[in-house]
Amino acid sequence: MHLYQVDERIAPDGNPERNLTHIRESLLLHVPLRPEQVRAMPVESSDLLSATSQYALDLQEFAGSPPVFDVVHLGLGPDGHTASLVPGDAVLNESHSGVALTRSYQGRRRMTLTYPAINRARQVLWVVTGSEKTEALQRLLDGDISIPAGRVRREQAVLFADRAAIGQPAATRKGGQ
Q: What is the pLDDT of residues 27-64, one digit of tens each?
A: 888 988 888 999 999 999 999 999 999 999 999 999 98
Residue 163, domain member (yes or no):
yes
Domain at 36, CATH number:
3.40.50.1360
Residue 27, domain member (yes or no):
yes
| Main-chain phi, psi angles of 93, to 5 degrees | -95, 5
Residue 160, domain member (yes or no):
yes
Kindly state the helix (H) or strand (E) to which residue 134 belongs, with its residue range: helix 134-141
Domain count along the chain: 1
* Cβ atoms 35, 3 nearer than 8 A: no
Which own/partner contact pairs does 17-24 have at CB distance under 8 Å and 24+ positions apart?
17/108, 18/43
What pLDDT score does 128 carry?
A: 98
* Cβ atoms 99, 39 nearer than 8 A: no
| Residues ≥6 apart with Cβ < 8 Å to 35 | none
Q: Which domain holds residue 143?
A: 3-167
Query: What number of other Cβ atoms are within 10 A of residue 29's Cβ?
Result: 8
Q: What is the mean pLDDT of the segment spanning 108-123?
A: 97
Query: What number of other Cβ atoms are within 10 A of residue 160's Cβ?
Result: 10
Residue 37, domain member (yes or no):
yes
pTM of this structure: 0.90
pLDDT band of 172, cuts 50, 70, 90: low
pLDDT band of 107, cuts 50, 70, 90: very high
Across the strands, what pairs with 85?
82
What is the C-alpha separation between 107 and 128, in angstroms, rounded?
A: 23
Residue 102, domain member (yes or no):
yes
Residue 175, domain member (yes or no):
no
